[in-house]
Amino acid sequence: MNFLELIWLIPLFPLFGAATMLLVGRKLDPQAASEVAVAPGVEPAAAGSGHEHGHGGGAKFLISLFCPGMVLLSFLLSAAAVFQLSSLPEKTHQVIQFTWLAGQPFHMAGGGMATFAADWGFLLDPLSSVMILVVTGIGFLIHVYSIGYMAHDGGYYRFFGYLNLFVFFMLMLVLANNYALLFVGWEGVGLCSYLLIGFYFHKKSAGDAGKKAFIVNRIGDAGFLMGMLLMLATVGSVRFVDVNQALTSGRFHPEIAGFGVLSAMALLLFIGATGKSAQVPLYVWLPDAMEGPTPVSALIHAATMVTAGVYMVARSNALFALTPETSLIVAVVGAFTAILAASIALVQNDIKRVLAYSTVSQLGFMFMAAGVGAYWVAIFHLFTHAFFKALLFLGSGSVIHAMSGEQDMRGMGGLKDKIPVTFRTMFIGSVAIAGIPGLAGFFSKDEILWQVFSSPLGSKSVYVVGIVTAAMTAFYMWRLMFMTFYGASRADARTQAHVHESPKTMTVPLMTLAAGSVLAGWIGVPKLWSVFPEGFRTFEHWLEPVFEASAARAVAHGVAHHDTSIEWLLMGLSVAIAVAGILTARHLYLIRPGLPDAIRKASGPLYDTLLNKWYVDELYDFLFVNGLSKGGGALLSRFDASVVDGGVNGAGWMTRFTSRVSIWWDTWIIDGGIRLASFLVKCSSYPVRIFQTGYVQSYALVFVAGVAGFLLYFGMR
Amino acid sequence: MNEHLLSIVLFTPLAGLLVLLFLPASNKNLIRLWANFSAIAGFLVSLPLVFRFDKSNGGFQYLERFDWIPTLGVKYAVGIDGISLLLVMLTTLTGVIAIFSSWKSIDEHVKEYYAMFLLQQTGMIGVFISLDFFLFYVFWEVVLVPMYFIIGVWGGPRKLYAAIKFFLYTLTGSVLMLLGILTLYFQHFTQRGFYTFEISELMKLNMPLHIEQWVFWAFFIGFAIKVPMFPFHTWLPDAHVEAPTAGSVILASVLLKMGTYGFIRFSLPLVPKASIEPWIVQVLAGLSIIGIIYGALVSLMQKDWKKLVAYSSVSHLGFCTLGIFSLNPNGIAGSVIQQINHGISTGMLFLIVGVVYERRHTREIKEYGGLAHVMPLYSIVFAFAMLSSAGMPLLNGFIGEFTILQGAFEANRAWAAFAVTGVVLGAAYLLWLYQRTMLGQVTNAKNLRLPDLSLREFLVFVPFIAWAIWIGVYPKPYFDVLEKPVAQLVERVRPGYFDRKPLADARGSVTATEPRPSGSGHSTEVAR
């Protein structure tokens, strides 16, 4: 069977699952309908509001088989297709099904004409194959985990429906063969993120967080859209193959000095990436996104969706390679985000928020790598991060589960022996992210730091930021571990009594991910460790064909040569700093637990600033939400009612006024004149009229009087 | 059959109306049945227009042409191209939905109500198929009357104010438009020696630029009021808020499109020199962009659910006019598609408001909240309508917006940059509305026992939902139908537009490196 021709099917399995759940799921799982959340003070509805827990258990079982099953099918098909791909000589396969967006011809910017069109087409190459394996593989594990985690929540079908829908859109994103179809997945995962963050929609905070995520992402998307339009105008196509072809054909010259059209294009695309991948200045939505159920945080807000920006930048490497200035911006933004988020993570008390800021920070690392042209390292870190961060999130979910929903680490402690599987797996995850040699995080993070230091596009100051962030990472992760698992429990008795290890559906995914967190790094062993054969560096070689264009540019840029001793030194430094971070955390939170309080008091406003996330949310609310949007909207509403509509109503009033004037004029001037004239005629005719009575007798009398007068006159003569 | 197809489509609603007049007013259900039957018949007879349409022909099809008032040179001339085809189909389908949705909500003067809707159908179809300016004007005015009564009789508390405002406002526009028409009419006599209102004849005129400009502005007032473009939009919120649900649906979905259609069918081809006059284009694009951003921002702060949707129309129609005045194929094709899209998504949004208004008799947003708990199906349909309106890819809105943005970008990059903010704000006001009405806890005891959508209410949405998905996933047929007429229009306004050659070297080398499909039927190379 030729699985390569069937890659278009990969996204369709989860779509089928989602459609089934959203269309008939409510019938299968009627429990959802009965749980009406009512604000205090409002009398609950009497009818149909009894809690019907345990209802629909059989249907739940079906859903639990069906939805993860769909993702598993995708995973198996992906694996088969990737396996076949690896035996192809050029390691790329495109399936175009039909023309999706079939627009009209247009004038390109530099003369010439092209057609505005985008395929419904899929591209499997080394880059997308890594992505689909991560998405379906880790996605499947998280689906399994959710069976246990969501067992007691209402809307079971809805949750799995959204989750499957997410996997569909994510697969569209990474498998699309052009930017426009990528954008379909890009927006689609944003939608699912909105739906899943707001899953507990009776909570206002959840609704707010979902909305914030969607709108902040939309701002990035506006940049992405403009980038695509500029690409169409410049290159004439949005298909990856065409764009890469055009960019490497020599028609476009690298914009080494100055900011040209390619730089603008790359920057606009990167704005899109800052939205989706939560980078400065659009990172603010991700920490709030933790309102969603924990499996969602693991899948969407750690392992897959938020890495879409990194994927997209890596996908556009031919473009970024031509614009060193934009690449530098990418690296600097990544570094700044990394250290900013890490600094906030140092003091957060909510276990999921620490992990959220950690994710923002790690994404910053990935952009640092992409910015210095080490795209494969960015993808490598994406790959390893997917394992250990999903593990940490799922572990935190297991902790929260055990703690009856408590998320504040100040109320935890001493869980080490009570939930041993969770503890051991999270331990592995924390060692991995801290960068201790042998585990996944070390390989990728150390490679990033080395590339930032040594690459011709890199810079020493970015490296310093990176190494400081690495130290912070080790510290806040182990602060989390010590506060949660070590020492004495700070929870109340009832919660303590209730602490329990999670069911198998949750622990087995944890263990699998823990294994991944140990092993995933061993396919990208540093070149320095020359004892290991090339087989241990498969990852880089696998991705080489995708990054050929940028690699060629980098060679043209000139390769700086560094002594291996420097490399050993830096590696030692990063390990030392990781260990130092862990030990500091141990000292502060295990050995001398009173010390953090003292430091907090001593540091004063700095601590508060960190705790309040540098007040960025407040600033944005003030400037953009309440200022520009709501303020502008209110102002314009008033303008509309008073000025624009005032003009219309004024015109109406003027019409009525002039008509009144006309009526007056009509009545008193025109008509008055006529009546006056007639009155005058009447008056002047009065003397005449008094004779014209119409009575024959009067006429006869006048006649007689006249005759008498005549007679008298002549008689008198 | 073909030679009278359009007349049949045009007069089917009117025939239904004639029969309706003889039905006993007391038998309301019979009247409802008959009105629905007439509307459905109207839709069914319009379907052959689609099946027999020849998309390779850019000219007008199904032509009918004979003298009506020979002394004035007035003809009954009708015909459609791809642009009018889509709008006619939108009209006949929306007619079915509007009439079906009124089954329960209207209980007074039922016979008159349906009579008005059927009359309106004929008027609107007439507008979209007339090829004679006089005939067009007659239908244009015919449409005004039923809508005036629909708002004025079956409307809300301020119905009289809204109805009169609507009527006078649009009448003012049409009178000015009439002046423009008459200018063309007499110009034609002076130049060519006979009187005619036929578009095809009037297109042969060659007028000096200043006369073209006067005609353009006369048309502009008429069309811009109808669209409505900023700053002629304030009749719209009032009319929408006071109109009954079905009236709002027709008003938003079809009536507004008469204005944009006017620009495409009359302004551009009849006065092409004025239509590409740079300052005029700048003004029109500027007003469109103001409309996009202004409408969105004003929407954001509305307290009345229906008014919010009404202002969102101003924003969306801004996209449509921006597309038209990009004066390139993608702008105009995108505009036509977006006109259909706006009909679908805003039609749905008005139906959504209508559902709760029937239950609660209030449109205040703060009266609601947490409705997703009590009306789950309703909340799903609303979410769908919201996403369609906000331009979610794989639904209809995205296709239109993206294509228009491409056109605008080609014309002037700054336009696209400004317009794209409308995409962001569109998500903002819709999501906020959704959150305030659907999410959170049920804050008002009156909402606790609201029944979910009934089967009839759900069925009203189904055609729009299906249509939205179709356009979103497979818009190619729409672009195919539009390709020829839009190309002709662009060629008319900007002669030589299509003379540019594709970049042969880039394209040639691209196809050479494409991976060969390995023999399976799934791979098809796209013809460009």
In B, which residues are within 8 Å of A648 by CB distance?
165, 169, 234-235
Task: State the best of B240, B382, B479, B526 to mutate against chain A, taking most chain A CBs within 10 Å.
Answer: B526
Do β-strands A113-124 and A93-107 pair in parallel, antiparallel, or remain unpaired? antiparallel
Inter-chain CB proximity A636 and B297 less than 8 Å: yes
Average pLDDT of the segment spanning A324-349: 92
Q: In this structure, is residue B420 part of a structural domain?
A: yes
Looking at the complex, report in whole angstroms how far the Cα of residue A271 sits from the nearest Cα belonging to chain B. 14
Q: Considering the domain boundaries, does residue B521 fall inside one? A: no
Residue range A187-232, pLDDT digits in tens:
999 999 998 988 888 888 888 888 889 989 999 999 999 999 999 9
According to the model, what pLDDT value does residue A34 have?
A: 44
More confident residue, A607 or B217: B217
Mean pLDDT lowest for which of A17-21, A544-548, B490-494? A544-548
Residues B259 and B324 in one domain: no
Quick check: is B160 in a domain? Answer: yes
Chain B contact present for A431, CB below 8 A: no
Whether B491 is covered by a domain: the verdict is no
Task: Pick B479's closest partner by Cβ from A98, A102, A226.
Answer: A102
pLDDT (0 to 100) of residue A560: 60
CB B268 within 8 A of CB B490: no
Please give the pLDDT value at position A45. Answer: 42
Residues above pLDDT 90, as percent of chain B: 71
The answer on B301 and B160 residing in a single domain is no
| pTM listed for this prediction | 0.89
Q: Are residues B68 and B79 in the same domain?
A: yes
pLDDT at A60: 81
Same domain, B292 and B211: no
Q: What is the mean pLDDT of residues B11-22?
A: 93
Say whether both B349 and B270 belong to one domain: no
Residue A558 has pLDDT above 70, yes or no: no
Mean pLDDT across A424-447: 91
Distances in Å between the alpha carbon of B91 and those of B49, B129, B249, B462?
A: 13, 12, 11, 16
Does the pLDDT of residue B31 top 50, yes or no? yes
Same domain flag for B362 and B379: yes
For B74, phi then psi, to 5°, come to: -90, 135
Query: Which residues have C-beta within 8 Å of that of residue A8, sequence separation ≥ 6?
Result: A95, A97, A122, B522
For residues A622 and B198, the model is more confident at B198
pLDDT average, residue stretch A84-109: 90
Cβ-nearest to A111 among B231, B409, B500: B500
pLDDT digits over B100-146, tens only? 999 888 888 899 999 999 999 999 999 999 999 999 999 999 999 99
Per-residue confidence at B474, pLDDT binned at 50, 70, 90? very high
**CB of A211 less than 8 A from some CB of B:** yes
- Domain final position from B275, B309, B324: B275
Interface of A with B in 24-83 (CB under 8 A): 26, 32-33, 35-39, 42-45, 47
Establish if A647 touches chain B: CB-CB under 8 angstroms: yes
Mark whether B204 and B322 lie in a shared domain.
no
Q: Between A and B, how many residue pairs show a Cβ–Cβ distance under 8 A?
A: 255
Beta bridge partners of B76: B66
Rounded CA-CA distance B236/B233 in Å is: 6
List of chain A residues whose C-beta atoms are within 8 Å of the C-beta of residue B474: 98, 100
In this complex, the residue of A121, A191, A236 whose CB is nearest that of residue B387 is A191
Percent above pLDDT 70 for chain B: 95
The reported pLDDT for the residue numbered A48 is 38
Q: Are A21 and A157 in contact (CB under 8 A)?
A: yes
Domain region containing B376: 278-479
Residue of chain A with shortest Cα separation from B414:
A226
Q: How far is B131 from chain A (nearest CA, A)?
A: 26
pLDDT of A35 > 60? The answer is no
Give a yes or no: residue B508 inside a domain: no
The share of chain A scoring above pLDDT 70, in percent, equals 95
Q: Is the pLDDT of residue B304 over 60?
A: yes
**A630 to B301: CB separation less than 8 angstroms, yes or no:** yes
pLDDT, tens digit (0-9, with 9 covering 90-100), for B305-321: 999 999 999 999 999 99
Q: How far apart are CA A538 and CA A379, in angstroms?
A: 13
B457 vs A635, residue with greater confidence: B457
A153 in reach of chain B (CB within 8 A): no
> In chain B, which residues have their Cβ closer than 8 Å to the Cβ of A634?
301
Rounded Cα distance between B199 and B484, Å, is 18
- B526, part of any domain: no
Q: Does residue B362 lie in a domain region?
A: yes
Residue B514 pLDDT exceeds 80? no
Task: Answer yes or no: do B295 and B245 share one domain.
Answer: no
If you compute the radius of gyration of chain B from its CA atoms, what whole number of angstroms results?
Answer: 23
Please say which residue of B255, B275, B295 terminates a domain: B275
Name the region of A324 (left: φ>0; alpha: ψ -120 to 50; beta: rest). Answer: alpha
pLDDT digits (tens, 9 = 90+) for A637-662: 888 888 888 888 888 888 888 888 88
In this prediction, residues A27-42 reach a mean pLDDT of: 55
Across the interface, do B506 and A230 touch by the CB < 8 Å criterion?
Answer: no
Say if the Cβ atoms of B475 and A100 lie within 8 Å.
yes
DSSP string for B63-91: EEEEEEEGGGTEEEEEEE-HHHHHHHHHH
What angle is formed at CA A241 by the lines to CA A237 and CA A245, rounded to 5 degrees?
85
Q: Give the pLDDT confidence score for residue B521 in this predicted structure.
A: 37
Above pLDDT 90, what percent of chain A?
A: 40
Q: Does B515 touch chain A (CB under 8 A)?
A: yes
CB contact under 8 A, A191 and B392: yes
Domain identity same for B305 and B157: no
Cα of B390 to nearest chain A Cα, Å: 10
Q: Supply B332's token pair.
A: 């105009």
Q: For chain B, what is the domain count?
A: 2
CA angle, A447 as apex, A446 and A449 as ends, to 5°? 65
Same domain, yes or no: B158 and B25:
yes
- What's the pLDDT at B55? 87
Which one of B301, B406, B420 has the shortest CB-CB distance to A222? B420
Is A226's Cβ below 8 Å from some Cβ in B?
yes
Cα separation of the two ends of chain B: 36
Whether B509 is covered by a domain: the verdict is no
State which of B244, B275, B306 marks the end of a domain. B275
Task: Report the pLDDT averaged over residues A386-412.
Answer: 90
Q: What is the pLDDT of residue B505?
A: 44
What does the pLDDT look like over B140-184, one tens digit per residue? 999 999 999 999 999 888 889 899 888 888 888 999 999 999 999
Which chain A positions have a beta carbon within 8 Å of B231's beta carbon? 644, 647
The answer to whether A460 and A451 are in contact (CB under 8 A) is no
Q: Is B424 on the interface with A (CB under 8 A)?
A: yes
**Same structural domain for residues B271 and B299?**
no
A96 phi and psi angles, rounded to 5 deg: -110, 120
Q: Residues B370, B254: one domain?
A: no
Q: What is the DSSP letter of A503?
A: P
